[in-house]
Amino acid sequence: MKKATITYTALPGEAKTLEIAGVTLVTGKGDTVICDDAMMDRLAKAGGMLKVEGVADYTPPPPPAPKAPPPDEDDHSKKHK
């Protein structure tokens, strides 16, 4: 995966927003986009309305560990009787 700041600049008459990899870019405002390497390569070569800066490798954080189920109160009270 790759991570970069992408700035979209709409041409006159074009939409003021553009969605890339689940991120809605607003014209003139840079935003962080994370996508696969092939898509980032295409975006970096697109030029024109897209300015791509700071392309870097990105490893998503691991998912959070599952929470332990709460102790069964009925079972706990049986053990102490």
Tell me the per-residue pLDDT of 14-66, one tens digit each, with 9 for 90 and over.
Answer: 999 999 999 999 999 999 999 999 999 999 898 889 999 999 999 988 998 88
Query: Is residue 1 within 8 Å of residue 60, measured between CB atoms?
Result: yes
**How distant is the alpha carbon of residue 6 from its chain centre?**
12
Confidence (pLDDT) at 48: 87
1: pLDDT strictly greater than 70: yes
pTM: 0.72
Taking phi first (over 0 means left), then psi (-120 to 50 degrees means alpha), and beta for anything else, what does residue 42 get?
alpha
Contact 43, 55 (CB under 8 A): no
**Tens of pLDDT along 53-74?**
999 999 988 998 888 887 766 5
